[in-house]
Amino acid sequence: MTASVITVLEALVIIGTSLWAIQYLISRKVHAYERPSLTNTQVENLPKVSIVVPVYKERRQSIEKTLDSISSQNYPKNLLEVLIIVDKDDMHTLNEALKAVEKFLSSLNVKMVINENSGRRLKAVAMNTAIKHAGGLIIGFYDADDVFPNDQVLNAVLLMIERNYAAVGTSL
């Protein structure tokens, strides 16, 4: 009797997990993410956005890939700032980031921020350092080598304005 109860419970767990996985995959496939109904022409003043990219032991190509993605955003460039956060001890990444940034100086407002608190190599420490230097009303966080659709920043900002959200998660 006990063996059959366990078998039924196992079957229910497997069925439930399978149904959840199917629902999740279907929602991902149909892009079940919220989209704003507002457009940038309906918003009088878009806010300045700071995009933070903490880097640690990264290659120039990874950083360039993310900067290229940011550069292709259809958000007004004069309202975008990018902060690259590097630990002061990570000289290799600092040099790689400086090389990557050179390509985008004419198209993006990019700032290099040195994390002086390098004794604690945590992403959260780098992010907290960046917040102190960010000039945007909205702050977005990305990883080196993230690539995202060119309307991602605009859609996130419009959702925040339209629905009065304090934070928005996006897909990469």
Q: Rounded CA gap, 106 and 96, in Å?
A: 18
| pLDDT value for 32 | 54
- pLDDT over 80 at 147, yes or no: yes
The more confidently predicted of residues 23 and 31 is 23
Long-range contacts, stretch 93-101, CB < 8 angstroms, 24+ apart: 93/55, 93/56, 93/57, 93/58, 96/58, 96/59, 96/60, 96/63, 97/55, 97/58, 97/60, 97/63, 99/60, 100/60, 100/61, 100/63, 100/64, 100/67, 101/63, 101/67
| pLDDT value for 137 | 94
| pLDDT value for 89 | 86
| pLDDT value for 81 | 96
pLDDT in tens, 32-64: 567 777 776 777 889 999 999 999 999 999 999
| pLDDT value for 5 | 61
| pLDDT value for 72 | 94
Structure confidence at residue 165 as a pLDDT band (50, 70, 90): confident
- pLDDT over 70 at 67, yes or no: yes
Structure confidence at residue 23 as a pLDDT band (50, 70, 90): confident
Average pLDDT of the residues of the chain: 84
Structure confidence at residue 88 as a pLDDT band (50, 70, 90): confident
